Amino acid sequence: EVQLVESGGGLVKPGGSLRLSCAASGFTFSTYSMNWVRQAPGKGLEWVSSISSSSSYIYYADSVKGRFTISRDNAKNSLYLQMNSLRAEDTAVYYCARDDFWSGYDAAYRFFDYWGQGTLVTLSS
């Protein structure tokens, strides 16, 4: 059974830092790209960052570029998000999500097929 378990959330002051972790099990972690997606209280979903299976390709949303760093340790089946210079608008539940794809006849189609339960990050002075 695929499981993704996030941890590391909590209350932090604006300008502070936090490191989120996502422990993966039930699948061959090293062969999948992974993502962080967040959801502010009462709001919709916002993709934050992606990392390819070997960490060769990394992407960020403009809203976090230069402040957040995604990484992974395939030996530990773990995904991380280092968040620096945190702002009030970073308050959200942060989900890790597995990135899979389906090869159609003309292209590969990507989707987030498994999600963790989320970890809450709260910014408050």
Partner 1 sequence: DIQMTQSPSSLSASVGDRVTITCRASQSISSNLNWYQQKPGKAPKLLIYAASSLPSGVPSRFGGSGSGTAFTLTISSLQPEDFATYYCQQSYSTPWTFGHGTKVEI
| Residue with smaller CB distance to partner 1, 50 or 91 | 50
Q: Return the closest-CA partner of residue 2 out of 119, 94, 99.
A: 99
Name the site residues for partner 1 (rule: CB under 8 A): 35, 37, 44-47, 50, 59, 61-62, 95, 102, 104, 107, 109-118
The answer for residues whose C-beta is within 8 angstroms of residue 60's C-beta and 6 or more apart is 48, 49, 68, 70
CB nearer to partner 1: give 33 or 78.
33
Q: Looking at beta carbons only, is 46 or 122 nearer to partner 1?
A: 46
For residue 65, what is the DSSP state? T
Q: Residue 121 CB, nearest distance to partner 1 (Å)?
A: 15
- Least Å distance, CB 2 to partner 1, is 12
| Cβ atoms within 10 Å, residue 90 | 22
